Amino acid sequence: MTAPTRSWIKPAAIAASVLALAGVGYATLAQGEKAPDVTFISIAGDKISTANLRGKVVMVNFWATSCVSCVREMPAMVDTYNKFKGQGLEFVAVAMQYDPPNYVLNFTETRKLPFIVALDSGGDLAKSFGDVTLTPTTFVIAKDGTILKRYVGEPDFSEVHALLQKALAAG
């Protein structure tokens, strides 16, 4: 005997519910809004502020070593950075508050991450960027400090590359 089907559950309704739940409880930063003024502290102890990054296109990637999607997308993030760094791209990978610093350091060293890796020890950076709770979440920020795009989950890297080319070419 087969289980009865629940024809009353429609895929679109499920998707809408999931998307609604994903947005509950935090205000997200949207395209066109200014990126927050924050200071990242790299695992090397360097301080990098968003104010000092004005005039450059910046990618800020919130991730965790325990996040399967984050680990899977990291080689493409490295490739993206290497492709565009000579044109002025800056990249900050922000490890989430719950990620043990020794795990982040080990991941960074074993994968030879070429960009800035910062720790969000107090969770303040995630809160400043619209209370980021889902990883990976990546922001592309224009030279003037406005958010061009926010990606939740693994982005389509051909789309990211097209956006970066346009942003880097802009005056």
Task: Domain ranges for the chain, please list them.
Answer: 28-169
Region 103-131: what's the mean pLDDT?
97
* pLDDT-derived band at 28, boundaries 50, 70, 90: low
Claim: this prediction has a pTM higher than 0.85: no
Pairwise CA distance, residues 143 & 114, whole Å: 21
Pairwise CA distance, residues 153 & 121, whole Å: 22
Region 9-14: what's the mean pLDDT?
34
State which fold the 28-169 domain adopts. Answer: Glutaredoxin (3.40.30)
Average pLDDT in the chain: 87
* Nearest Cα residue to 157 out of 98, 101, 74: 74
Region 62-66: what's the mean pLDDT?
98
Region 148-164: what's the mean pLDDT?
97
Tokens 């991450």, residue located: 113
